[in-house]
Structure 1
Amino acid sequence: MTPKNALSAHVHLSPLLGIPLAVAAGLAIPLQGRVNGALGAVLDDGIAAAVVSFSVGLVIMIATSLLLPRGRAGMAAMIPAVRARKFPPWYLLAGVIGAFFVMSQGLTISLLGVALFTVSTVTGQMASGLLVDRLGMGPAGKKRINGMRVLGALLTIAAVVWAVSPRFGGGSGSGYLLLPLLLPLAAGFLQSFQQAMNGTQTLHYGTPIAATLVNLATGTVVLWAAWLVKAAVAGAGNPLPGEWWYYLGGPLGCIYIGVGAVLVRSLGILLTGLGMIAGQLLGSLALDIVLPSAGSHVEPATVLGTLLTLAAIVVATLPWPRVVRNSIGR
């Protein structure tokens, strides 16, 4: 690892800068979900949509790794880091989690909509974010789970449910959604582990470019294998569409993975997840206003729930006086 790359791996960002970056990265997720969900519907194949998304992202990261000096240095650092067992070898499988998340988008968003998908993933991510921070799996090490951080996580879940409640107001026919909801719930739960694994690899490679490349390479191999099995059993589905925007899922995923890998070093898993969740809600709100899907409406609860999510992040990140933290943590 060169001195320049070693320095980049150890840069610490304050929450004042890191949280807005996490919010910005989170904006990519609802847009990626809309693109991959639409592509899955057009292809009539959610696995194929995930294959396209990851394959495009992999091509971008290969080109980036070869063209940029930092990318080439990161690639050179990969094998020595793995041989020296700088991290558990199974961390290289972080891309499998990413593949599962993107596949769940293509399989369920056309059925559930972005609202229910977001509720499920956020609930899983909040539960695992606390767990992963407590276990110290990420590059920031173990983080104390005080009462304010738990309160911030609970407020975030409540805010997301409130924000999307107008879009899935209980009808008698909503019971059939229970099983499809389990897929994004599991994908959200695993995301915190993926962020920890990517962040640790970034630390030892010296750049998020290399960690993102490994992530996409692993995920692409798994998705192609899954699609080949599916195609052999049920056929290949519809041909690829000609519109360019169907292929934006890969670049958006690169942004999300790369920024997240950097931020977990400074913020930890839970706070990085909180910021990205705020970005997801803001992005969903913006999509409904600027590019509304059929039947979508911006309700007051959506706006107020988004504001409550931002407040929850403040609760979880501010340096509260010790007396306040102790009283909440009892």
Structure 2
Amino acid sequence: MSRAVHPDTPSPTSTTPLTPATASTRLKALTVPAMLAIGGFVSVQSLINGQLAAGLGTGLRAGALAAVISFGSGLVLLTAWVLLHRPSGRRLRGLYRGVRAGHVPLQLLLGGLFGAAFVASQGLATGLLGVALFIVCFVAGQSVTALLVDHFGWGPSGRTAISLPRLFGAVLAVVAAVLSGVQVGLSSTSVTPALVLTAALPLLAGAGTSIQQGMNGRVAVHAGPWPTTWNNFLVGTAGLLVFLALSFLAPGELVGLPGQWWLYLGGLFGIAFISLSTVMVRIHGVLVLGLWAVAGQVVAAVVIDLVVAPEELGPLSWVAAGLTLVGVLGAMTLRARGVR
């Protein structure tokens, strides 16, 4: 006799699961702009959270508070949506029932901690590195780790072996990161240990983002994008509150809340790229999503620095941006021609 399933409990299987193998070519083509937008949202959020941290004060506590404001505001908006949108509320309750029933591994709900680390790194590192260098370092960590996430089957689409097109795109992203680092060195008096350590923050954040996308994609199979996004913001906000408390052990000060309204929009952009990513990763896989998002990230980052801090840009910055785009388009072309 089959076991009865509660109507709010997400099913571990579906009749036609959406994966890169089952998604149509038309669907993949139509969703490319959404992946580019994800990358653009990441760059804009990096600018906002970096500026917010600078306006809040100095030291770790300013970056931590900026991250709490960004994640916390997103959590408030998502909570209102889940309460008002009954299907999302039912699926959220079903998600936690699925965890208790063993359909959803508990560790998959912790992806929000990686998102929290990324948002915290924005407040801590963007001011020193500039948006362009921050994003390219983020891209390097994201691209390399995405290869591993797909290769080991940590995402919703199962194992996807490392191939020449995938390696091509990831390697060019890393080369672009190195060139951007050299550009900062040429425009500064010296490359200090502090600069290197700061650049490591977005590198590690990018690695965590690829793992987060894989985890979120698997959760979304059971619960859909909105409950998955809400859970991310809940877990991330909790982690950031702990980080904020610990940050008061380090030097720094808070001077008050900045008056510019746009500095409080980081949560909206976070909602946009996390919710979109939970859908796109099921259609394209972690690496392909990451490569297209790279294009959106780097182009938006260069435009932002061109407007906000043109002194941060130099010849190698443009070469680095070009290489990331060549990596994305080249990887897609090689795949389309059947190169493995």
Q: Give the TM-score category using the shorter length.
A: 0.7 to 0.9
Amino acid of the structure 1 residue aligned with 2:30: L
User: Counterparts of 1:163 and 1:111 in 2: how far apart (Å)?
Assistant: 14
**Superposed displacement of residue 196, structure 1:** 0.6
Q: Contact conserved, 2:75 with 2:234, CA < 8 A, in 1?
A: yes
Does the 8 Å CA contact 1:57/1:216 hold for their aligned counterparts? yes
Q: Return the alpha-carbon distance in structure 1 between the equivalents of residues 45 and 332 of structure 2.
A: 27
Quote the Cα distance in structure 2 between the aligned partners of 1:310 and 1:279: 9
* Alignment counterpart, residue 126 of structure 1, candidates 140, 143, 162: 143
Aligned pairs for 1:91-240 (under 5 A) are 91-159=108-176, 161-162=178-179, 166-169=183-186, 171-176=188-193, 177-205=195-223, 207-231=224-248, 237-240=254-257
CA distance in 2, matches of 1:54, 1:295: 30
For residues 235 and 7 of structure 1, the distance between their equivalents in structure 2, rounded to whole angstroms, comes to 55
- Contact kept? 1:96, 1:218, Cα under 8 Å: yes
Distance in 1, matches of 2:284 and 2:117, equals 25
State which drifts further: 229-238 or 261-270.
Answer: 229-238
Paired residues of 1:129 and 1:273 also in contact (CA < 8 A): yes
Instruction: Name the counterpart of 2:54.
Output: 41
Q: Is the 8 A contact 1:119 1:164 kept in 2?
A: no
Match of 2:29 in 1: 16
Q: Structure 1 residues 304, 88: CA separation in 2 closer, same or farther (over 3 Å shift)? A: same
TM-score scaled by length of structure 2: 0.85
Q: What's 1:328 paired with?
A: none
Task: Provide Cα deviations, 1:42-82, integer angstroms capped at 9, x if missing partner.
Answer: 11210011010000110111112122243223223212221
Counterparts of 2:45 and 2:146, CA distance in 1: 22
Instruction: Say which is worse superposed, 117-126 or 37-46, in terms of deviation.
Output: 117-126
Residue 291 of structure 2: which of 261, 270, 274 is its match?
Answer: 274
CA shift at 1:308, angstroms?
A: 3.7
1:238 to 1:316, Cα distance in 2 relative to 1, 3 A: same
SS in structure 2 at match of 1:173 = coil
Q: Give the aligned partner of residue 288 of structure 1.
A: 305
Distance 2:220 2:16 in 1: 9
Q: Is the 8 A contact 1:96 1:222 kept in 2?
A: yes
The alpha-carbon deviation at position 10 of structure 1 amounts to 3.5
Q: Sort the Cα spacing of 1:285 and 1:78 in 2 relative to 1 into closer, same or farther, 3 A.
A: same
| Length, aligned pairs only | 321
Name which of structure 1's ranges 157-166 and 67-76 shifts more when overlaid on structure 2.
157-166
State the shift of 1:184 in Å. 1.7
Contact 1:9 1:204 in 2 (8 A): no
**1:315 and 2:315 equivalent?**
no
CA RMSD of aligned residues (A): 2.8
SS at structure 1 position matched to 2:192 = helix
Structure 2: any 5+ residue segments left out of the alignment? 1-6
Query: What residue number does 1:27 align with?
Result: 40
Match of 2:265 among 248, 255, 260: 248
Output the CA distance in 1 between the equivalents of 2:116 and 2:269. Answer: 14
* Alpha-carbon contact 1:155-1:308 (below 8 Å) kept: yes
